Amino acid sequence: MSDNFKEYGQQVIRNSRTLCNELINRGYKVVTGGTDTHLFSVDLRSVGLNGSKAEKVLEEISIAVNKNTCPGDKSALNPSGIRIGTPALTSRNFKEKDILVVADFIDRGFKLAIEISKSAKGTTLKDFKENMHEEVYQNKIKELREQVENFASQYPMPGFGEW
């Protein structure tokens, strides 16, 4: 009921809408076409990617998302999307301008996942992970992870004092 918590909740929504709209502007399909809440799902089928592969690359570059099924998926074991939420970013004092940088990192992570997927010897997640460990991709992952972590280090980590 505090004014601080109400402002936090409003900022979570503003951040979620900003991230959602920016990914839509970059050509990604959001399952609901937008968001009015703290989270949304991105359907990656149209860019030739699935949720498991996208989640794996984003995880490797220090961005936490969850693979998630989308309407039309046949199996939860092979989801076509990811779910993204903004409460954690908002808790670190991210504002809309910061969220635009996050959208760029996510976009770059998706594009890297597509690149890795296209050059894999097979189509399974196992093939993808094996390909991901090739030196060329490990170097790209490392470079992007360092950029993400350097950017994120500017913001306080709740509960960790001088993080």
Alpha-helix runs per DSSP H in the chain = 3-25, 51-60, 87-91, 96-119, 125-132, 135-152
What digits encode the pLDDT tens for the residues 24-56? 999 999 999 999 999 999 999 999 999 999 999
What digits encode the pLDDT tens for the residues 135-156? 999 999 999 999 999 999 999 8
- Measured CA to CA, the distance from residue 158 to residue 78 in angstroms comes to 34
Question: Torsion angle, CA of 132/24/85/58, rounded to 10 degrees?
Answer: 10
Question: Torsion angle, CA of 112/118/122/126, rounded to 10 degrees?
Answer: 10
Give strand pairing partners of 68: 81
- Measured CA to CA, the distance from residue 42 to residue 63 in angstroms comes to 15
What digits encode the pLDDT tens for the residues 86-110? 999 999 999 999 999 999 999 999 9
